[in-house]
A and B are shown apart, each in its own frame.
Chain A
Amino acid sequence: MSGNSTYQPQNAVLQWFEKRLPIGGLIHSSFVAYPTPRNLNYWWTFGGILSMMLGIQIITGIVLAMHYTPHVDLAFKSVEAIMRDVNYGWLLRYLHANGAAMFFLAVYIHMFRGIYYGSYKEPREVLWILGVIIYLLMMATGFMGYVLVWGQMSFWAATVITNLFSAIPGVGDTIVAWLWGGYAVGNPTLNRFYSLHYLLPFVIAGVVILHVWALHVSGQNNPTGIEPKSEKDTVPFTPYATVKDGFFMACFLILYCWFVFYVPNFLGHPDNYIPANPAVTPAEIVPEWYYLPFYAILRSIPDKLMGVVALFGSILILAFLPWLDTSRVRSGRYRPLFKQFFWLWVIVCVGLGWLGSKPPEGIYVILSRLFTLYYFGFFIVILPLLGIFEKTKPLPNSISESVLGAKA
């Protein structure tokens, strides 16, 4: 996707085809000849890992859909039938459920990496915003997938989350009724969630193509944050990036399979093995771990509407990051103050996740408010001011100089 390719197939049939549809050249220029900075560290392998996870989720999901029944009386039973009666159904379902968690783990690492190294800065703003859109789509997809199981947590999470929209003044109740397809979470809700849960991954795949396209136009950022200046600064994608990505994908699969085969229910809530019952509210309603920080932000604000605004604001603010960060230096490596505020922000994000799993009372509320304040303060106050006041470290002259030192 980086302009015209010089790729010329040897085979006569492929040459014939290439003249009519130059897809070989597209693949060659995107994934073989594409110049990639030579100093990328392993944090840069998560883009590949995320593509792999999307593929795994779509494949396992399509097979699961062949056995699943989206009906309030049958959904839970059909999931259990997959676990018991479908050949390797337990494997498909545990791969899919834990795959969602691993997908989010990888996306969080990918995002933290992007923020630390300033990967959202000019000329990569559109690339970054496409990433935020993918993340939003992932959250919607993950939430609806969790509802499909139709356990107690599925049902009550659906009730709590859809009710958030009732906070919108004037049209809130209409929107909620429209989401439900009725006057409560019920069969129409389950049906539309199933339909959308099948649709959205393909929308994600589409935006991923745009994301990769934008990446291949602007080129990858790198740990120094300075653009490649000569051929010495880059290496071809294949074999260098492919083998490195491949190695880390295999390592990531070890982690993933550890969960799937040994602790498959570690990340789930026991209540979701109880069939959904609208008449019984669970003692505590907690979302999946990957939504917990946002749940903590929602609950830290006493006003319902403002809580919902903060919840969505905490995600949407990421889209404005390229303009909130005023520093001319990209990489956190050369920004001594930013580095510390960044790591504190990471601790706050994890802390909010912990607080989201706690009941909203006493000390937890106070801490949630402090952490929420820092979460937003990092974007609205710290990042704009740091760019003005921070004294950054000197940048190396080129990527190859930073890798090879005096040798270059």
Chain B
Amino acid sequence: MTNKRTIIALTLAFAAFAAPALAQEHSHEAPTPPAVKWSFAGPFGKFDEGQLQRGFKIYKEVCSSCHALSLLSIGSLADAGGPGFSEAQVAALAAEYKIKDIDDKGEAIERAGRPADHFPSPFANDAAAAAANGGVAPPDMSTLAKARGYMRGFPTFVFDIFTQYQEAGPDYIHAVLNGYKDAAPAGFIMPPGGNYNEYFPGHVIAMPKPLSDGQVTFDDGAPATLAQYSKDVTAFLMWAAEPKLVQRKRTGFQVMIFLIVLSGLLYFTKKKVWSAVH
């Protein structure tokens, strides 16, 4: 009993000792990005086709001037579980792109794109991208929504397993798009070429405010506001990073049903087999 009490005492002492230090650590960090209600969250989550199409329009008209999307084929826009463009729409879209290639005489040419081509990158290489953007190449957006996130902290990160929270990346990107401030707070020293963003780590982001109200006009009548843009383009980026998300969750449900039934049957078999022994 003495030892059990010692363990409890040690645990409490540890908590009292460590808690202030932990609280202090968090005060320096950027605020927690607000949780957005995404259509693709949760066990039955699906991408909203209209939202992905709007998000793609924003990518095409705004982001693509600096950010590559090099891991995606143009044709993947017509894949199941994605933005839901038709094959014909995607073929027409692909033809708008100029793709560098070599003809059958070995001469360098530029030809019209095909659905199997990947999205052409805005810069010839990373060095050119960096040189044109103040020394740092803008990140490729193919996996961006999974390559960003924020610390969830204890105990939230444990609950995330059960609530299936996998949207730290989209929440963070959405927050950054909405986190630009016209002026840094008094006393904040802004290095040249920096922009103040509430949610970006360290608050100094090289990218100027990319989206503002009225910048992109939607064909489906959705509001032309930053609030709408930031959600739509983030959802599109999540699809770009995880194009098989819908297929994954649907398969997962079938697998879960199968495994739960299998476990149940095995449990009762086990009970029957062991009943003679116990």
Contact = CB atoms under 8 A, between A and B. Distances in A.
Interface in B241-278: 241, 243-244, 247-249, 251-253, 255-256, 259-260, 262-263, 266-267, 269-270, 273-274, 277-278
A254 B260 contact: yes
Contact of A84 (B22, B244, B253): B244
Contacts of B277: 38, 235, 240
A274 interface: yes
B43 interface: yes
A273 interface: yes
B147 A274 contact: yes
Contact of A254 (B146, B165, B166, B259): B259
Contacts of B10: 344
Interface string B36-52: 00000001000000000
Interface stretch (B13-21, B102-110, B176-184, B215-223): B13-21
Contact of A244 (B7, B17, B71, B270): B270
Interface string B1-32: 00110010011001001100110000000000
Contact of B263 (A80, A90, A251, A264): A251
Contacts of A396: none
A264 B241 CA distance: 13
Interface string B196-233: 00000100000000000000000000000000000000
Contacts of A246: 266, 270
B252 to A, nearest CB: 3
B161 interface: yes
Contact of B160 (A90, A263, A275, A343): A263
Contacts of A271: 147
B71 A265 contact: no
B270 A243 contact: yes
B17 to A, nearest CB: 7
A273 B274 contact: no
A323 B21 CA distance: 40
A273 B241 CA distance: 9
Contacts of A283: 201
Contact of A80 (B18, B71, B253, B269): B71
Contact of A340 (B3, B43, B139): B3
Interface residues of B, number: 56
A240 B14 CA distance: 45
A90 B243 CA distance: 10
Given A274-B147, A367-B18, A341 B263 contact: no
A240 B273 contact: yes
Interface string A134-147: 00000000000000
A253 interface: yes
A190 to B, nearest CB: 19
A91 interface: yes
A340 B2 CA distance: 10
Given A247-B263, A254-B263, A264 B7 contact: no
A250 B168 CA distance: 30
Nearest to A257: B255
Contacts of B146: 265, 270, 273
B76 interface: yes
Q: Is the interface of B mostly helix, strand, loop or mixed?
A: helix
B125 interface: no
Contact of A367 (B14, B140, B142): B14
Contacts of B252: 257, 260-262
Nearest to B10: A344
Contacts of A264: 166, 248
Interface string A356-379: 000000110001000000000000
Contacts of B142: 80
B277 to A, nearest CB: 6
A344 B73 CA distance: 53
A358 B168 CA distance: 19
B262 A266 contact: no
A94 B11 CA distance: 37
A62 interface: no
B244 A261 contact: no
A363 B19 CA distance: 10
Interface in B129-170: 139-140, 142-144, 146-149, 154, 160-161, 164-166, 168-169
A77 interface: yes
Given A246-B266, A247-B270, A261-B256, A270 B248 contact: no
A81 B260 CA distance: 32
A265 B266 contact: no
Nearest to A77: B71
A55 interface: no
Given A84-B243, A243-B269, A340 B7 contact: yes
B58 to A, nearest CB: 21
B74 interface: no
A33 interface: no
B7 A343 contact: yes
Nearest to A251: B263
A172 interface: no
A380 interface: no
A250 B256 CA distance: 11
A337 interface: yes
A340 B4 contact: yes
A83 interface: yes
Interface of A: 38, 77, 80-81, 83-85, 90-91, 94, 235, 239-240, 243-244, 246-247, 250-251, 253-254, 257-266, 270-271, 273-275, 283, 337, 340-341, 343-344, 347, 354, 362-363, 367, 403
Given A243-B273, A247-B270, 4 more contacts: A80-B143, A83-B244, A246-B266, A337-B3
16 contacts: A38-B277, A77-B71, A81-B71, A84-B76, A84-B243, A90-B248, A94-B248, A240-B274, A247-B263, A247-B266, A254-B256, A263-B161, A283-B201, A340-B7, A344-B10, A363-B21
Ranked 10 nearest A-B pairs via Cβ = A261-B252, A273-B147, A247-B266, A340-B3, A363-B21, A250-B263, A273-B143, A270-B149, A90-B244, A273-B146
